[in-house]
Amino acid sequence: MLLPLLLALSCTASSGKVDEASSGTDASKNPYYSRTDTTKLTVSNAEWKKILPDEVYEVAREKETEWAFSGKYYKTDEPGAYYCAVCGNALFKSTAKFASGCGWPSFFEPIRKGAMDYTEDRTHGMDRIEVTCARCDSHLGHIFDDGPPPTGKRYCMNSIVLDFVPDAGAPKR
């Protein structure tokens, strides 16, 4: 009973909370969005602020977090892939997603090596590792060493900074 509470507390990315009104961004209004380009982007926060919805900007660029159990993808179990909602970088396959009970989408491995960057995060009295998109440097969440085999990792991500693309023709579970 105490474990789910501790997991939820360990996932919290910041002291601020963001309600999820929508996930992702309108790619037609974002000239940097591409699901195939992996070129590193150098875009100012001022430019991102013009392009991204406020809720996405707050999490991605200001390192806020959405409320636990509120995110669009925390219960999703359809076959497909998850991309960075800011730049379109491929992040996770749905086959790496698992129900961790922490209230945020959790994955045990990235889609490819180099898709994400990792930085020590000692904010809010915690010792954890921040996960950012390797293409656009947007905050995605944190990684912990309490995930399932084969990696033992739990990538605890904010739904609002993820775009999900279902596999074409795959039946919904």
> Is 173 domain-assigned?
no
* pLDDT above 80 (res 172): no
The residue range of the domain holding 143 is 2-166
**Contacts made by residues 114-117, CB under 8 angstroms, sequence distance 24+:** 115/89, 115/90, 115/91, 116/91, 116/140, 116/155
Q: Which two tokens stand for residue 1?
A: 């009973």
* pLDDT above 50 (res 2): no
State the pLDDT confidence band at 169, using cuts at 50, 70 and 90.
low
**What's the CA gap between 135 and 38, in Å, rounded?**
6
Q: Where are the beta strands (DSSP E) in the chain?
A: 17-18, 65-66, 80-84, 90-93, 97-98, 106-107, 116-121, 128-133, 139-144, 154-157, 162-166
The pLDDT score that the predictor gives to residue 170 is 58
**Average pLDDT for 126-151:** 96
> Is 94 domain-assigned?
yes
> Is 83 domain-assigned?
yes
- Three-state DSSP class for residue 172: coil
> Is 172 domain-assigned?
no
> Is 143 domain-assigned?
yes
pLDDT tens, position by position, 15-49: 333 333 333 456 678 999 999 999 999 999 999 99
The pLDDT score that the predictor gives to residue 113 is 95
The pLDDT score that the predictor gives to residue 7 is 41
**Average pLDDT for 128-144:** 97
* pLDDT above 90 (res 12): no
> Is 25 domain-assigned?
yes
Q: Are 61 and 139 in contact (CB under 8 A)?
A: yes
* Position with higher pLDDT, 131 vs 16: 131
Return the CATH number at 151.
2.170.150.20
The pLDDT score that the predictor gives to residue 26 is 62
Name beta bridge partners: 142. 130, 156
Mean pLDDT, rounded, of the chain:
86
> Is 157 domain-assigned?
yes
Domains of the chain: total: 1
**Average pLDDT for 63-68:** 93
The pLDDT score that the predictor gives to residue 40 is 97
Q: What percent of the chain has pLDDT over 70?
A: 82
Told to judge if 156 belongs to the known catalytic residues of this protein, a careful annotator would answer yes
> Catalytic one among 11, 84, 102, 156?
156
The pLDDT score that the predictor gives to residue 115 is 97
